[in-house]
Structure 1
Amino acid sequence: MNEEINSEQAEISSEQAQTQNSDESINLDALKSNDKALELESKLAEMTDKFYRANADFENLKKRTEKEKADIASYANEKFARDLLGVLDALQMGASFEPADEFGAKIKEGIELSIAEFIKALAKHGVSEVEVGGEFDPNIHNAVMHVDSDEHESGAIVQVLQKGYKINDRVLRPAMVSIAK
């Protein structure tokens, strides 16, 4: 009987050992599948983050490209307008003479009409004259000399030597000015 009991106990121990091994195997499998699930979730989160970043970069690129296209269209005539400013200066210098007779007065009148049309055409394409007056602004003025002046405060514009121009709020040519010391 002892042998039977020992045999039964051995069987029970063997079954418990198998059950314990089976439970450990299930636990190991569960741990492995848990680790795999965590790893997959981590990869999914990483890929989702990459997707959102790539999408945001693409949207930023689209906006930047649209802005650049708008700037190109807005400032396409900049070089051409800059070249024409010399012609406008020459016309204005030509109109600064005092006519001696009626023929000279007609010529001056024709030049002034040409200047007015020229300025209208430039304005149509966004070119305007830089405002000059008051304080010196290095963004839109180019100081070429300092002048002693009792009538003006230090840093004030005394005289405009050459007109400045802007195209769509960008300085095309700064105004050359003399400023008070």
Structure 2
Amino acid sequence: MRLENEKSLASASLATHLRLLRWCGYCRLASGARLSRLHALYRALTLALTTIYLLQECVYAYQVQQDMDKLARVMFLLLCHITSIAKQLVFHIKAERIDEMLAGLEDPLYNQAVEAHRRLLGATAASASRFVRAYSGCAVVTCTLWITFPVMYRLQGLPVEFPFWITVDYNRPT
């Protein structure tokens, strides 16, 4: 027998993923959360910053359109950030539908008391949690490399170029 506030095993399979999406500013907090207005502001800021970064990449792409190596590098990032913004917009526009789907996971049909079903749901929840942690870990490693390589190049005296438009000459000796 579950307590009223306790989440079902079916919804537990998405718990880690939802926590990360909310932490990153993609998904809104659960309905009725105390900090939902503050979190909505955080989500708007996240979307605005991602959009500004995307616009900087567009300016950079225009500036380097004759250099295929630089253009290919920035086009990959543009594709990643355009899809990121699209996902943020979908999470914002379809928030009510997402809440309905999440609430549907509490339905008894998805949470039958049969022991075999409970074991399967528990294993699915554990696998989903491991998967999202591995995926997030890959993202952290990627970001770490994005920071590490420019620092290494700078320490070696090599020129460093970031694939977005910025008005600061970061290769000038200090």
Structure index of larger Rg: 1
Interval of TM-score (by shorter of Structure 1 and Structure 2)? under 0.3
More helix as a share of residues: 2
Higher RCO (CA < 8 A, seq sep 6+): 2
